[in-house]
Structure formats: structure tokens, C-alpha cells
């Protein structure tokens, strides 16, 4: 939808279209449905690239944005929003992404900034894709921060969603710039589609703690029957010793987090088992993310 503003100047009247913010979304025109006469999405600026709307493929609605002619890994759509309402609060930040058709390159291998990009997957006959990121730039007090909110490895065949639960710092001041871009140092500078970008406030559902305790009682606790021989209850001292760590079933972790010493310490203290995500595996061993 559009908001209409009528500007009067002498005898002339101008009708100005202002893109609207969808309810609950801090991002303006995050679904890329609104565009100007040049098919450029309103509310967005192209940084080092060409940015237009497209009806060829979309995650939802009638349009998405297609990003082409990128000048670097950092090139992509940008939007600046007011950071006041973000400071110290928790949000669900999401976007749907997909590689452009022109990136279906065979036997492609390039070195940039000392990083070797991924080679063609000989099993699938198609490129394994490239990682696309949502990045937020803001000031935490006086320090400028480039915060990688989340990322996913995008491919040609389907839309994939970046979605993260994120808390902005309480000391955040001024404006926040939201970027959608490639991974640091990666070449070639691939084309991609993006759709349905959102920053929505999150708060825990009412009664979540009571529900969690109910499920713990149901699934995690069992009655134990003790049979005493030759002693009475008042002569016995009972101790329950936990031999395994807190989460015996383990978890999946990414190599980017496990390199963080604080996170690593927490993980090793609380988990018995771990499975590293596919960044640490050969492509022919793990085809899907």
C-alpha cells in the first residue's frame, strides 16, 4: 500500500507516493511490492550494484528485488532506519534469498583475499551456492559496529530464509543501516534475489515458563522406587549424582560460534555430543544444509 501526500506549490499540485511500513515491521517496503517508475524498490538504496524489482521469481506476493552488477562482496540493497526503537530490545530478523540464474557456472574456482571459493559440485552438476548475509551497522555508544545478524548459503533452485533472534545493545544510538550482501572476501560477485525482509519485535509467550515446567515434569522426570533391606529411612543418606552433562542429546553448532572462547566454554560444560554444521564437511559428504 502507499500513503499519499499532496504538495501544493503556487498553482501546481504534486502527488507524492510514500512507501508504507507494514504492521510490526521496522523495515520499510520489506516485501519489495512498491517501486518507482524505474522499477526500483522504494525505501531502498543500491550500494555498488543495480537494484530493481522483479516479477520473475518471488518468495511471496507479486515481486522481489533482484541485485545485479555487484562491485564487491559488500554490494547490495541498503536501508537506514531509526535505531531508537531497537536499543536493548529483542527482534526476529529475517529475509528470503536466492541466487540469480546467471550464477550457474561450471568449473568455477577463484581466489580472492586468500580465500578459495567453492568449486563446482561434480555430483549435482550445479554450483553449491554462496553465503548471503544480513548485516547491521550502528553505534554502540561511541564505537561503530558492523554486526552480522545472520546468513545462509543461497542456491539457484529454491528460496532459503535467513532468520535470527537478535538483541540490539542498550547503548545503541542514532541510525541503524541494514545491508543484504555477500560473505566477506568472496568472489565472484554473484547476482541474487531477496524478498520479505523484516525486523519484528519478539517477546516470550505468556505462560512459557509454566508450560516448560509441565513438559519437564512429563518427559524428563520419572518415579524411582527404593527397597531398603536391613536399614530404616532415617539411617540412610541419599545422593543423586548426574554422570552426564546437562543436555545429553547434544546439538548442532556452527564453526563460526565454536571458535568463540566464551561460547566454546559454555558448550563444553553443558553438552555431551556435538555435530558441526556443513561448513566443516566436504560437499560430497553432506549435500544439504
CATH code of residue 28: 2.60.120.260
Amino acid 278: pLDDT:
55
User: What does the pLDDT look like over 69-124, one tens digit per residue?
Assistant: 999 999 999 999 999 899 999 999 999 999 987 554 333 333 333 333 333 333 23
Strands 90-99, 12-19: pairing is: unpaired
For residue 219, being part of any structural domain is answered with no
Tally of domains in the chain: 2
Query: In whole numbers, what is the pLDDT of the chain averaged over residues?
Result: 78
Name the residue among 200, 139, 203, 148 with its Cα closest to residue 173: 139
Local confidence band at 247 (pLDDT 50, 70, 90 cut-offs) = low
Amino acid 285: pLDDT:
46
Asked whether residue 262 falls in the same domain as residue 194, the answer is no
Helix, strand, coil shares, percent, the chain, to 5: 10, 40, 50
Amino acid 45: pLDDT:
96
- Show which of 139, 172, 201 is a domain's final residue: 201
Asked whether residue 68 falls in the same domain as residue 196, the answer is yes
Amino acid 80: pLDDT:
96
Asked whether residue 69 falls in the same domain as residue 177, the answer is yes
Asked whether residue 189 falls in the same domain as residue 255, the answer is no
Local confidence band at 250 (pLDDT 50, 70, 90 cut-offs) = low
Is 238 strand, coil or helix? coil
Is 265 strand, coil or helix? helix
Amino acid 151: pLDDT:
93
Amino acid 124: pLDDT:
35
Question: In this predicted model, which residue has the larger pLDDT, 114 or 219?
Answer: 219
Amino acid at each position: 500500500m502507499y500513503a499519499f501526500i499532496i504538495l501544493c506549490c503556487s498553482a501546481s499540485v504534486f502527488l507524492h507516493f510514500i512507501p508504507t511500513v507494514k504492521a510490526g515491521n521496522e523495515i520499510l517496503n520489506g516485501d519489495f511490492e512498491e517501486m518507482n517508475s524505474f522499477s526500483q524498490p522504494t525505501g531502498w538504496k543500491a550500494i555498488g550494484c543495480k537494484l530493481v524489482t522483479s516479477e520473475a521469481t518471488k518468495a511471496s506476493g507479486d515481486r522481489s528485488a533482484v541485485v545485479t552488477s555487484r562491485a564487491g562482496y559488500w554490494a547490495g540493497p541498503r536501508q537506514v532506519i531509526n535505531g531508537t526503537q531497537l536499543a536493548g530490545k529483542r527482534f526476529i530478523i529475517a529475509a528470503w534469498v536466492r541466487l540469480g540464474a546467471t550464477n550457474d557456472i561450471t568449473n568455477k574456482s577463484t581466489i580472492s583475499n586468500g580465500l578459495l571459493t567453492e568449486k563446482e559440485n561434480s555430483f549435482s552438476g550445479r554450483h553449491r551456492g554462496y553465503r548471503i548475509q544480513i548485516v547491521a551497522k550502528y553505534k554502540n555508544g561511541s564505537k561503530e559496529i558492523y554486526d552480522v545478524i545472520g546468513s545462509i548459503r543461497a542456491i539457484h533452485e529454491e528460496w532459503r530464509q535467513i532468520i535470527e533472534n537478535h538483541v540490539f545493545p542498550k547503548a545503541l544510538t542514532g541510525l541503524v543501516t541494514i545491508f543484504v550482501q555477500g560473505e566477506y572476501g568472496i568472489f565472484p560477485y554473484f547476482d541474487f534475489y531477496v524478498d520479505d525482509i523484516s525486523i519484528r519485535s519478539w517477546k516470550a509467550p505468556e505462560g512459557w515458563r509454566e508450560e516448560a515446567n509441565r513438559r519437564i515434569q512429563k518427559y524428563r522426570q520419572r518415579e524411582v522406587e527404593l527397597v531398603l533391606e536391613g536399614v530404616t529411612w532415617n539411617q540412610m543418606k541419599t545422593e543423586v549424582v548426574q554422570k552426564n552433562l546437562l543436555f545429553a542429546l547434544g546439538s548442532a553448532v556452527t564453526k563460526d560460534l565454536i571458535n568463540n572462547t566464551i561460547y566454546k566454554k559454555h558448550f563444553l560444560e553443558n553438552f555431551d555430543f556435538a555435530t558441526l554444521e556443513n561448513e566443516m564437511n566436504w560437499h560430497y559428504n553432506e549435500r544439504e544444509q
